[in-house]
Amino acid sequence: EKITISVIKADIGGWPGHSRVHPQLVETAEEVLAKAQEEGTIIDFYVATCGDDLQLIMTHKKGVDSSEIHGLAWRTFEEATKVAKELGLYGAGQDLLKDAFSGNVRGMGPGVAEMEITLRKSEPIVTFHMDKTEPGAFNLPIFRMFADPFNTAGLVIDPNMHMGFRFEVWDIKEHKRVILNTPEEIYDLLALIGAKSRYVIKRVFPKEGHKIAKDEPVAVISTEKLYEIAGEYVGKDDPVAIVRAQSGLPALGEVLEPFAFPHLVSGWMRGSHNGPIMPVPMHQANPTRFDGPPRVVALGWQISPEGKLVGPVDLFDDPAFDGARQKAVEIAEYMRRHGPFEPHRLPMEDMEYTTLPGVLEKLKDRFEPVE
């Protein structure tokens, strides 16, 4: 029998500004989900936070894209929005872009990562939660987990994963997707996903011959782009991901290893700057400096045979990641010195959906031809 793990998140108000989630929003979400658990809609849940994003982690048997589960998430965000409005929190309800729920939260503002899986004898998973960045921020770490032998020793020395994996990549501008096999097509894959604002890894699958069935995802990432829904900048698309680990998949430590390098991602202040992503425990996921730098939280879980979430273990709450945090602070300082200059500020194409065009509009008539 299959279990579905759904991570559905939204920014429905910050405290203060865009920095963190107020504890009363977490309590409200817990109340709504506890009731749904009592009624049997979901098996288990946990409400996490990362920066100003409220994160609903749920297990159930309704499959992916279930209108019942998405409706529950939407209702939870609506209830928490009421509290956010009472408290006067900043941007209350900002990610609920539509007035009424219409069967699926995709395209309505919240971010979604879900996978329906056949539980293995033991099922270790990690949920990742990022704030102040976009879905493409997962390209580099997911590639390294499942395709880079310098990150994942198992790709070389474990016969159960030596055959490699399949990557589903979405072109989020053209709304198309392609599946690429690794290691054979690593260069093709990198040609796409290096352009992380356009091509994003949506899912990773095993190959034929793996212990896990070929059509069951082993990793899934949220790819919602808010500006595509709202038509303008309404906050970044702070993504989430679910990754299964161990036993023919990257070991827990191979899943976390890419984050020892705080790579540059776009987002940060006004969703308009490149900066390092800092791996932090949940209690440190409260962006402050220049509304950042961007953060990533990793929560570790075992799924029990009945589908209970045994956890979370706050995986970056570990001095082994102090070096990455320190490096992120140094890179943040270096990038900040560029002020409004690229490549700290994003290139022009990526500024199209921000507030910059409004500024440029004013100058339009003052341009004159040059000989």
Q: Which residues bind ligand F6R (CB under 6 A)?
A: 17-18, 132, 235-236, 267, 269-271, 291
Calculate helix-pair angle for 67-87, 23-38, nearest 10 degrees: 150
Q: Which is nearer to ligand F6R, 165 or 233 (CB)?
A: 233
> How far apart are the C-alpha atoms of 335 and 273, rounded to whole Å?
9
Minimal distance, residue 94 CB to Mg ion, in Å: 6
* Residue 53 touches which member of ligand F6R, Mg ion, none, C-beta under 5-8 Å by kind: Mg ion
Residue with tokens 């992380």: 196
Minimal distance, residue 61 CB to ligand F6R, in Å: 35
Residue 175: C-alpha distances to residues 72, 225, 266, 276 (Å): 27, 12, 21, 28
Q: Which is nearer to ligand F6R, 256 or 351 (CB)?
A: 351
Minimal distance, residue 197 CB to ligand F6R, in Å: 15
DSSP state of 247: S
Whether 48 and 129 have beta carbons less than 8 Å apart is answered as yes
Minimal distance, residue 287 CB to Mg ion, in Å: 8
Looking at 9, 11, 199, 353, which residue is catalytic? Answer: 11
* Residue 168 touches which member of Mg ion, ligand F6R, none, C-beta under 5-8 Å by kind: none
Is 63 exposed, middle or buried (CB count within 10 Å of its CB: 0-12, 13-18, 19+)?
A: middle
Q: Is 205 left (phi over 0), alpha (psi -120 to 50) or beta?
A: beta
Q: Which is nearer to ligand F6R, 279 or 287 (CB)?
A: 287
Looking at 52, 95, 199, 233, which residue is catalytic? Answer: 233
DSSP state of 76: H
| Known catalytic residue at 236 | yes
Q: Which residues bind Mg ion (CB under 5 A)?
A: 11, 14, 18, 51-53, 91, 131, 235, 238
Residue with tokens 């500020």: 345
Q: Which is nearer to ligand F6R, 191 or 359 (CB)?
A: 359
* Residue 217 touches which member of Mg ion, ligand F6R, none, C-beta under 5-8 Å by kind: none
Looking at 52, 236, 291, 353, which residue is catalytic? Answer: 236
Whether 90 and 14 have beta carbons less than 8 Å apart is answered as yes
DSSP state of 96: -
| Known catalytic residue at 334 | no
Minimal distance, residue 215 CB to ligand F6R, in Å: 35
Q: Which is nearer to ligand F6R, 18 or 202 (CB)?
A: 18
> How far apart are the C-alpha atoms of 10 and 149, rounded to whole Å?
35
- Which tokens belong to 178? 């392609």
Residue numbers annotated as active site: 11, 233, 236
